[in-house]
Structure 1
């Protein structure tokens, strides 16, 4: 069984002169010598180093206090989640699953062996509590595949104690810098080993977006990357991960539609269909969870004297039991051939994009025109909704306006690097409108569910009074949105003027 540890650390270059005196660091009462550990780690990756490209490391290590398999996933600068599994000859299935979206059907191979002599010190406070572990690592790297030669170096690593204050690392760094020690130029030992043993190539310079196609592809690439980065989080049932991945799929699909003059829709539409499938699969549990939370909150606001029958129990049964982790159904989706093929297809599109003539033009006109076109569609849909009488037809019209508002928001997000503040203003306006229209749609869905629950309760001989009460309150919430919409829309009509 794997366990996860949040790792906050910093790495520094060393000239083999050892560790500077750290007794002067503020808060440090004692520096305790913990001896030397001999570590032997083999790192795994695909032949084209897909894990390293995503700042992910996977290793099998012996020696030290934590021998076993270690998977490190980036969280932010200097912060990683280290997922550990017991030592075994073969890669544990649970770790293999967490890198499947990266490796897919490509075999993970040993790429580097790192043998390190780790001289460890513990920095303790006045109460004897651990503040940080500092080590001086003498590293010998041996390239196992895809490169040439060996490499050796010495580095200093400072890892914050569990639940420690990250600001303490700043104090240690200040002392190290004063002693002439500088931050490492490599993000990890693996990255340094691969760099120092790689065949020499001419470095490619950074490429900034220039054309309309460059800007659209940059946004597409960002959403593809988001899906890949969120895959392990979804498998681990991390908070908000399913919703965030679903949003990334929607952003991609919307971008293909909005920028059809840039990317050929005969190519992107089939990909959009697969993204729609993935979003639907991600939403199966999520939509019911959100609606159940809304109805439960509404029920909590009803005075006890007005709650007639086992309403809360009916809601719990309808919502289903909350799983203790990601559902087996969702894990099956992420392990499916269809999903992995979709990821391959997105990679292929980014590597060889189906660019149309407008893609080569300057971005301002092409991108602004696409966003303005989407906004005009929103305007037409909102106008139509306001002309309709309250009822089913208006509910449907408002929902269609919401979907188009979301698409316009995503188009404006893609446009921000090219258009600047006008696109930023559009994103803000569309997000506010989306939230307002979303409140109306949530009320529509809630009322539909309340009708179903009321019918089930009635058939069981229970009172349906409370369901009717909740239904009436949802009607009032929807009516409030409809009353607010005309004035709200007047405030956002000029959102496209600056594009």
Structure 2
């Protein structure tokens, strides 16, 4: 399998994710099940990651504009999904508090923000730009061209794609100090997600070693994702408290305390998740550096 084989994997992956995007689009429009939007957004992110990771093998005049348009769609989906996650979590956390009316007042601002974001999302899905993107993705599943200068291909090429993404992550981890700021941990999560999505592209060809790495990358991503969710929740609660009455601000303070505990727990856990991911990457590398 030459570089054309890598491109074939990308085309296949795009076809799978495009089918998922279309499957979940009606539910995203309807809006009653947040999982529909989540799956649609994941499909967009995975397609973008495939195109980025396989850039050395692709005709960039075709692949990069497509990746940019997927970025536009991801940004259209993101605010609603982020608010879905935030509101669900905060409502669960507030459910055992006695100040239920104050909690409802506190979160009312997020409800209004959510309604506005939903309007923007629906406008994007109703746009000519979205329909044109679907058509371009459909064409790419069959005719996305390879780069004119072909590189080494086969399983080695796919393994190298995964390990290249992992090396970028390892460099970022190695550059951290003992107590990294929140934004650096968030950047690690994004890097880890790229490792995972690139591994998923390679999984059909590389099999079990990559499946183990995918599992470890997912755990790494999840731990740091929960840390980031806690950071965002804490920040938004502080913002909401600033414009709230005294009782609602008190509720915000209690919820902030819980987010601080969640952050501390995930900070303590992420090095272990990283060590497991590094171990699996070493196995994929075949025991050599």
* Superposition TM-score, scaled by structure 2 size: 0.87
**Pair 250,292 (structure 1): closer, same or farther in 2 beyond 3 Å:** same
1:361/1:241 CA distance change after superposition, 3 Å: same
Aligned to 1:320: 112
Indicate the residue corresponding to 2:130 in structure 1: 339
How far residue 396 of structure 1 moved from its aligned partner, in angstroms, is: 0.6
The answer on 1:438 being equivalent to 2:225 is yes
More helix by share: 2
CA offsets 1:28-79 (integer angstroms, 9 cap, x no match): xxxxxxxxxxxxxxxxxxxxxxxxxxxxxxxxxxxxxxxxxxxxxxxxxxxx
Q: Which residue is 2:72 aligned to?
A: 277
The whole-number CA distance in structure 1 between the counterparts of 2:192 and 2:263 is 18
Matches within 5 A, 1:239-388: 239=33, 240-302=35-97, 304=98, 307=99, 310-320=102-112, 327-356=118-147, 362-385=153-176, 387-388=177-178
1:406 maps to which of 183, 186, 193: 193
Distance 1:439 1:358, change over 3 A: farther
User: What is the Cα deviation at residue 361 of structure 1?
Assistant: 5.0
Secondary structure (helix, strand or coil) at the match of 1:355 reads coil
1:250-309 deviation line (CA, Å, top 9, x unaligned): 00111111111121334322222211111121222221121011111112244x3xx498
* 2:259 corresponds to which of 439, 452, 474: 474
Distance of 1:336 and 1:379 partners within structure 2: 40
CA, structure 1 residues 434+226, in 2 after alignment: closer, same or farther (shift >3 Å)? same
Structure 2 unaligned blocks of 5 or more = 285-289
Task: Identify the match of residue 220 of structure 1 among 3, 11, 14.
Answer: 14
Report what 1:389 is aligned to: 179
Q: CA 1:266 to 1:301, structure 2 compared with 1: closer, same or farther past 3 Å? A: farther
Indicate if the aligned counterparts of 1:212 and 1:360 stay in contact, CA closer than 8 A.
no
Match runs of 1:104-143 below 5 Å: none
C-alpha distance in structure 2 between counterparts of 1:336 and 1:463, whole Å: 39
RCO higher in structure (CA 8 A, sep ≥6): 2
Count of residue correspondences: 280
* RMSD of aligned Cα (Å): 2.6
Is the Cα contact below 8 Å between 1:211 and 1:361 reproduced in 2?
no
Distance 1:383 1:469 in 2: 36
Structure 2 residue aligned with 1:492, among 273, 277, 287? Answer: 277
For structure 1, the 5+ residue unaligned runs are 1-208
The answer to whether the Cα contact below 8 Å between 1:416 and 1:423 also exists between their aligned partners in 2 is yes
CA contact (8 A) 2:102 2:251 kept: no
In structure 2, which of residues 6, 19, 26 is the aligned counterpart of residue 232 of structure 1? 26
Report the CA distance between 1:365 and its aligned residue: 0.8
SS at match of 2:179: coil
Higher strand share: 1
Q: Displacement, 1:384?
A: 3.3
1:344/1:265 CA distance change after superposition, 3 Å:
same
- Greater shift after overlay, 254-263 or 431-440? 254-263
Computing the radius of gyration from Cα coordinates, the structure with the larger value is 1
